[in-house]
């Protein structure tokens, strides 16, 4: 199926995944493609996992260090975690097996902002990249490379790795050719200004390059991206979306959002999807997105014309929508731009465009600090992803969460977050199914009143009021925490399985 590989020199390097995996050694730093379950290598990691398993059976050490774009899928993170084959992993991960390795200490995990993975690598702090494994949708006759459904850090990994393994996946639509916009930031300081003035601006080229001498293997695959189904929006998600729509309408009426609106950034998951669905049915027009992932709801808006363009670094679609997209890609070709994650998540561009950032939270405290990453302060969920890149730099930063988790045993509004990922000064509004708290310009005591009365679940409101009162009664303070009980809800949950007292 050479037809996707149009360069004759590279055709000669086609081999099996097993042969390709032989190029990777114990201790190697490996850069892989992939972002939110799209565009990750699907064959070589499995073959490598098999080798690792055989080495471990013989009592030999074999673990690699992995840098990604963001989350991959079961054929990458899953298979390597299963054989305990990763000593170090960065950045975002959603694979349950890898999460377990991260939490039990088998894998050292470094969480970071997705827009900062490339600058981190370039800093030299992690050393030189030995191998890159990059999924492509095709190779042009001149040897330039066409990324697949994610751009991530691909070009940097291709530039940096001593050896390059390519996977050309014929499941990916060939028509992805032309949708990417590869632009590399300057390596010298001061760096060049990124000339993006609107989400539709194309500033680079639509292909990636590699020193062909470094390509040691090309593997052909025909395998779908991860594309796990979303749970359909539930009532809570729809109510959250409703409050958010009201807020945005009001901001627009007051002239704080311009007539031609502002670019949207949206996280992934059930709630984020419901918000996109609500927007697609609402009366805003001329929408654009400057975001990191394109989800189902955005595709619907692009198709209906409500959204003119979406700029991102990857797709995160449900299995039905991915099929629809692949079958109808010509409808979307001019409306989607996939950029390196360093550009999709760059503070300079996010600030210039004035994005509206809408991300999910795990928990939020009564003073407005947000935890996006940790369960009960100790166990890593997925990582901060791009939420920090957007939260700190957007014109409007909104965090959303259902007011309860785990069948009501957990309140998402807590006295003190067990982990701070986004500090209160970055957060403009918080939404739960009960309402939206506009926190702009408020002092901690005012924020607490609003968050308790507007966002917390009624089952937990009396307990939150009691906690807040204890803080207030404890003397004159700016942020009236009652330190003795600040994390007592988390302790209670760990001890009894519920944040509610017996």
Among all residues, which ones are annotated catalytic?
292
Closest separation in Å from C-beta 266 to ligand 0RQ: 7
Closest to ligand 0RQ by CB, 168 or 416 = 416
Stretch binding ligand 0RQ (CB under 6 A), from 39-47, 82-90, 354-362, 435-443 = 354-362
Can you tell me the distance from the alpha carbon of 187 to that of 123, in angstroms, rounded to the nearest whole number? 10
360 near ligand 0RQ, judged by CB under 6 A:
yes
Backbone torsions φ then ψ of 336, nearest 5 degrees: -125, 135
Strands (E), 342-417: 356-360, 363-365, 370-371, 374-375, 379-380, 396-400, 404-405, 410-411, 413-414
By CB under 6 A, name the one of 405, 442, 486, 487 that touches ligand 0RQ: 405
d(CA 371, CA 378): 12
Considering only 268, 276, 356, 439, the residue that binds ligand 0RQ (CB under 6 A) is 268
Contact stretch for ligand 0RQ (CB under 6 A) within 203-211, 220-228, 360-368, 476-484: 360-368
Residues with Cβ within 8 Å of residue 317, at least 6 apart in sequence: 227, 294, 295, 296, 299, 325
Using alpha carbons, select from 30, 63, 35 the residue that is nearest to residue 49.
Answer: 63
Kindly state the tokens that stand for 40.
């990750």
CB of 114 closer than 8 Å to CB of 341: yes
The smaller minimum CB distance to ligand 0RQ, of residues 10 and 370, is found at 370
Site for ligand 0RQ in 24-83 (CB under 6 A): 36, 70
Residue 222 CA to residue 202 CA, distance in Å, equals 30
Tell which one of 311, 359, 403, 424 touches ligand 0RQ (CB under 6 A).
359
Tell me how far, at minimum, the Cβ of 407 lies from ligand 0RQ, in Å.
9
Report yes or no: 248 and 287 within 8 Å, Cβ to Cβ. Answer: no
Least separation in angstroms between residue 30's CB and ligand 0RQ is 20
Retrieve residue 52's tokens: 């690792």
* Among 372, 393, 394, 432, interactor with ligand 0RQ by CB under 6 A: 372
| Comparison of 335 and 457: residue with beta carbon closer to ligand 0RQ | 457
Question: Within a 10 A sphere around the Cβ of 81, how many other Cβ atoms?
Answer: 24
293 lies in the binding site for ligand 0RQ (CB under 6 A)? yes
Of 159 and 341, the one with the shorter C-beta distance to ligand 0RQ is 341
Among 410, 413, 417, 429, binds ligand 0RQ (CB under 6 A): 410
Site stretch for ligand 0RQ (CB under 6 A), options 165-173, 247-255, 379-387, 456-464: 379-387
- Rounded Cα distance, 333 and 238, in Å: 30
- DSSP single-letter state for residue 347: H
Nearest one of 1, 77, 67, 60 to 26, comparing CA atoms = 60
Question: What is the spatial distance between Cα 138 and Cα 155, in angstroms, rounded to a whole number?
Answer: 15
- Output the smallest distance, CB 36 to ligand 0RQ, in A: 5
Which residue from 150, 300, 361, 427 is in contact with ligand 0RQ, where contact means CB under 6 A?
A: 361
User: Does the footprint of ligand 0RQ cover residue 455 (CB under 6 A)?
Assistant: no
Half-sphere exposure (Cβ direction) of 52: Cα atoms closer than 13 Å: 24
Structure tokens that stand for 12 in this block = 């000669």
Using CB under 6 A as the binding rule, the residues of this chain from 173 to 202 that contact ligand 0RQ are none
CA 289 to chain centre: 15
Please, which residue, 482 or 489, has the CB nearer to ligand 0RQ? 489
Query: Which span (239-247, 279-287, 377-385, 458-466) binds ligand 0RQ, by CB under 6 A?
Result: 377-385
Q: Give me the least distance between CB of 314 and ligand 0RQ, in Å please.
A: 8
Please select the residue that binds ligand 0RQ; options are 362, 416, 429, 451, rule is CB under 6 A.
Answer: 362
**Of 323, 273, 266, the residue nearest 289 (C-alpha):** 266
What CA–CA distance (Å, rounded) separates 127 from 133? Answer: 17
Return the residue nearest ligand 0RQ (CB atom).
385
With beta carbons less than 8 A apart as the criterion, state whether 16 and 167 touch. Answer: no
Q: Which of 267, 297, 340, 480 touches ligand 0RQ by CB under 6 A?
A: 267
Task: Give yes or no for residue 295 binding ligand 0RQ (CB under 6 A).
Answer: no
List contacts with ligand 0RQ (CB under 6 A). 36, 70, 92, 114, 267-271, 292-293, 359-363, 372, 375, 381-382, 384-387, 402, 405-406, 410, 412
């Amino acid at each position: 199926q050479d037809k996707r590989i149009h360069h004759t020199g590279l055709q000669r390097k086609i081999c099996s995944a097993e042969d390709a995996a032989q190029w990777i050694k114990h201790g190697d730093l490996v850069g892989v493609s992939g972002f939110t379950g799209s565009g990750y290598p699907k064959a070589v990691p499995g073959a490598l996992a098999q080798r690792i398993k055989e080495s471990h059976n013989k009592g030999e050490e074999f673990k690699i260090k992995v840098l990604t774009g963001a989350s991959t899928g079961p054929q990458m993170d899953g298979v390597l975690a299963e054989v305990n084959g990763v000593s170090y992993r960065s950045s975002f991960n959603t694979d349950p097996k890898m999460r377990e390795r991260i939490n039990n200490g088998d894998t050292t995990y470094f969480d970071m902002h997705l827009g900062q993975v490339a600058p981190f690598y370039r800093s030299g702090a992690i050393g030189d990249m030995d191998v890159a494994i990059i999924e492509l949708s095709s190779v042009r006759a001149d040897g330039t490379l066409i990324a697949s459904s994610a751009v991530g850090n691909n070009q940097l990994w291709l530039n940096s790795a001593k050896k390059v393994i390519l996977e050309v996946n014929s499941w990916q639509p060939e028509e992805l050719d032309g949708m990417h916009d590869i632009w590399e930031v300057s390596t010298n300081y001061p760096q060049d200004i990124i000339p993006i003035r609107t989400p539709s601006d194309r500033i680079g080229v639509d292909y990636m390059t590699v020193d062909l001498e470094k390509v040691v293997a090309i593997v052909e695959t025909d395998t779908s991206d991860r594309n796990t189904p979303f749970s359909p929006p539930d009532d809570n998600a729809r109510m959250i979306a409703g409050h958010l729509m009201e807020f945005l309408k009001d901001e627009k009426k007051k002239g704080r959002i311009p007539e031609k609106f502002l670019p949207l950034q949206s996280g992934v998951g059930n709630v984020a999807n419901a918000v996109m669905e609500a927007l697609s049915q609402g009366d805003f027009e001329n929408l654009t997105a400057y975001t990191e992932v394109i989800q189902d709801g955005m595709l619907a808006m692009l198709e209906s014309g409500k959204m003119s363009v979406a700029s991102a670094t990857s797709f995160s679609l449900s299995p039905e929508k991915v099929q629809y997209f692949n079958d109808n890609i010509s409808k979307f070709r001019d409306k989607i731009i996939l950029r390196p994650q360093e550009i999709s998540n760059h503070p300079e561009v996010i600030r210039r465009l004035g994005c509206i950032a809408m991300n999910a939270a795990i928990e939020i405290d009564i003073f407005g600090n947000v935890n996006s990453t940790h369960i009960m302060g100790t166990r890593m969920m997925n990582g901060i992803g791009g939420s920090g890149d957007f939260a700190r730099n957007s014109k409007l930063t909104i965090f959303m969460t259902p007011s309860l988790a785990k069948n009501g045993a957990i309140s998402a509004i807590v006295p003190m977050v067990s982990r701070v990922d986004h500090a209160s000064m970055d957060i403009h509004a918080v939404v739960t199914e009960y309402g939206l708290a506009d926190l702009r310009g408020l002092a901690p005591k005012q924020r607490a009143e609003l968050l308790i009365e507007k966002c917390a679940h009624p089952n937990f409101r009396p307990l939150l009021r009691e906690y807040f009162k204890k803080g207030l009664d404890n003397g004159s303070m700016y942020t009236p925490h009652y330190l003795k009980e600040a994390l007592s809800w988390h302790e209670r949950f760990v001890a009894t399985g519920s944040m509610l007292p017996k």
